[in-house]
Amino acid sequence: ERGPPAPAERAALAILGGTCVTPVAVLASLDGDELAVRGQIVLLDGSKFVESRAQGPAAEAERLGAMVGAALRRRAPPGFFGT
């Protein structure tokens, strides 16, 4: 995919890391020149989830994605990322 959504999603996932079995989701959607980025992490048993969102100019896609990834990492339950 080309355009602002892909770099935003990649930036968030790069900060979150994780593995193929880490329940992480990131979706960026473009509406004109505005980009909305939504991310979510979920415990494997589904007992807890954390969400984060950011919205701003599409030209700042990577920054918006990084903001979402960083917020999710900060708010993750203890041990979520194996740390």
pLDDT digits (tens, 9 = 90+) for 28-56: 999 999 999 999 999 888 888 999 999 99
| Residue of 80 and 52 predicted with greater confidence | 52
β partners of residue 30: 35
Angle at 19 between CA 46 and CA 42, to 5 degrees: 20
Question: Which tokens is 44 given?
Answer: 């494997």
| Residue of 5 and 72 predicted with greater confidence | 72
Full-model pTM: 0.88
- Which amino acid is it at 67? M
pLDDT, residue 2, reads 63
Which segments of the chain are extended strands (E)? 24-31, 34-42, 49-57
